[in-house]
């Protein structure tokens, strides 16, 4: 059962990860959720729509009420799940893996990552005994959810409206977020901003090599910084104003220095 990882279900589509398997995962997730209200989203992978349909078949068969948002960043799904008071969330994606991969990720009702192998989802998958019922599907606007997320973030942050930023969307779900950054008052330059399930622009993994064009654009345009996203947009790699890719550890240190004072306890995992 190599497709079952600690945090998700993931494998090569058609070889390791099939519609039949994902349909059963949907039944397992719906039974774990007790037939309650859940949300669902996905990234731009070519196999995403077919796997979403299979997952929904299993999920709806357990009696769950499903709010489906289509292509949307996983952070927004986490936010909207918590705001609506839903039982849990699922997201069709294989994170930064190559385009032939896909999978299913899970979120708790609070929007946090759900350990697949520590939950009852795996138990249901192995043993069966799924709930049975007639579920309800409501397809909702991803943009409306993103707008709600934007209002939430604007209330938390006070940004310099003169900031110039290069956004490398990576042809993934971050492509839906261009208006989000404009609404925050940022002067944005977007590259790889067209949704493409093969991630033809630079590949799915944002790293020092794949982000070279974004680094050059930061320097060329005199931008303050840049960000490169992965397909589900939970990974944002920062580029400084000199066009250098910053390791996430350094970014964490910068944030900690601004957020905390000497003597405060900071835990790094």
Checking if the pLDDT of 116 tops 70, the result is no
Checking if the pLDDT of 191 tops 60, the result is yes
* Order of strands across the sheet that contains 65-71: 8-12, 101-108, 88-92, 37-42, 65-71, 136-139
Which of 94, 48, 86 has the alpha carbon at shortest distance from 67?
86
Q: At 149, which helix (H) or strand (E)?
A: helix 142-156
The confidence score (pLDDT) of residue 256 equals 85
More reliable by pLDDT, 243 or 249:
243
Checking if the pLDDT of 161 tops 90, the result is no
Q: Which two tokens stand for residue 17?
A: 């990860």
pTM for this entry: 0.92
Helices 142-156, 74-84: crossing angle, 10 deg rounding: 80
9-39 pLDDT tens trace: 999 999 999 999 999 999 999 999 999 999 9
- Band (pLDDT 50/70/90 cuts) for residue 257 is confident
How far, CA to CA in Å, does 241 sit from each of 119, 183, 187? 43, 22, 14
Cβ proximity of 169 and 177 under 8 Å: yes
The confidence score (pLDDT) of residue 117 equals 52
- Band (pLDDT 50/70/90 cuts) for residue 263 is confident
Cβ proximity of 15 and 21 under 8 Å: no
| Proportion of the chain above pLDDT 90, given as a percent | 79
Give the mean model confidence (pLDDT) for residues 203-222. 98
Q: At 255, which helix (H) or strand (E)?
A: helix 248-259
Looking up tokens 């220095």 gives 257
Rounded Cα gap, residues 204 and 1, in angstroms = 25
Q: How many Cβ atoms sit within 10 Å of the Cβ of residue 89?
A: 28
The confidence score (pLDDT) of residue 162 equals 83
Q: Which CATH class is domain 157-259?
A: alpha beta
- Band (pLDDT 50/70/90 cuts) for residue 159 is confident
Residue ranges of the chain that CATH labels 3.40.120.10: 8-145, 157-259
Which of 173, 203, 157 has the alpha carbon at shortest distance from 77?
173
* DSSP conformation letters of 174-226: GGGGHHHHHHTT-EEEEES-S--TT-TTT-S---TTTTHHHHHHHHHHT-SEE
The confidence score (pLDDT) of residue 268 equals 67
| Proportion of the chain above pLDDT 70, given as a percent | 96
User: What are the residues whose beta carbons fall under 8 Å from the beta carbon of 89, sequence distance 6 or more?
Assistant: 38, 39, 40, 41, 77, 78, 81, 106, 107, 111
Strands (E), 26-87: 37-42, 65-71
Catalytic amino acids? 95
52-73 pLDDT tens trace: 999 999 999 999 999 999 999 9
CATH classification for the domain delimited by 8-145, as one of 1.20.1260.10, 3.40.50.720, 2.40.50.140, 3.40.120.10: 3.40.120.10
Cβ proximity of 63 and 35 under 8 Å: yes
- What Rg value do the Cα atoms of the chain yield, rounded? 19
Checking if the pLDDT of 111 tops 80, the result is yes
Looking up tokens 């839903």 gives 86
Cβ proximity of 116 and 136 under 8 Å: no
The confidence score (pLDDT) of residue 269 equals 61
- Band (pLDDT 50/70/90 cuts) for residue 104 is very high
């Amino acid at each position: 059962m190599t497709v079952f990882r600690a945090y998700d279900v993931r494998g090569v589509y058609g070889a390791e990860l099939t519609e039949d398997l994902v349909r059963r995962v949907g039944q397992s997730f719906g039974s774990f959720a007790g037939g309650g209200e859940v949300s669902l989203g996905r990234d731009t992978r070519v196999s995403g729509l077919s796997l979403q349909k299979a997952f929904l078949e299993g999920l709806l068969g357990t009696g769950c009420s499903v709010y489906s948002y289509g292509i949307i960043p996983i952070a927004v799904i986490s936010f909207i799940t918590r705001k609506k008071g839903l039982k849990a969330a699922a997201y069709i994606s294989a994170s930064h893996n190559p385009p032939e991969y896909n999978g299913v990720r899970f979120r708790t009702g609070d929007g946090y990552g759900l350990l697949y192998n520590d939950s009852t989802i795996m138990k249901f998958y192995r043993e069966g005994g799924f709930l049975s019922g007639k579920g309800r599907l409501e397809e909702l606007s991803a943009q409306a959810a993103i707008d709600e997320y934007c209002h939430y973030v604007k209330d938390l942050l006070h940004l310099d409206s003169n900031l110039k930023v290069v956004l490398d969307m990576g042809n993934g779900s971050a492509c839906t977020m261009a208006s989000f950054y404009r609404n925050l008052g940022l002067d944005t330059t977007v590259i790889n901003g067209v949704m493409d399930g093969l991630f033809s622009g630079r590949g799915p993994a944002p790293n020092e090599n794949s982000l070279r064009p974004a680094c050059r654009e930061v320097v060329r345009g005199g931008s303050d910084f840049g960000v490169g996203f992965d397909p589900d947009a939970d990974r944002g790699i920062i580029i400084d104003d000199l066009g250098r890719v910053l390791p996430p550890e350094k970014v964490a240190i910068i944030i900690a220095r601004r957020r905390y004072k000497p003597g405060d306890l900071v835990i790094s995992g």
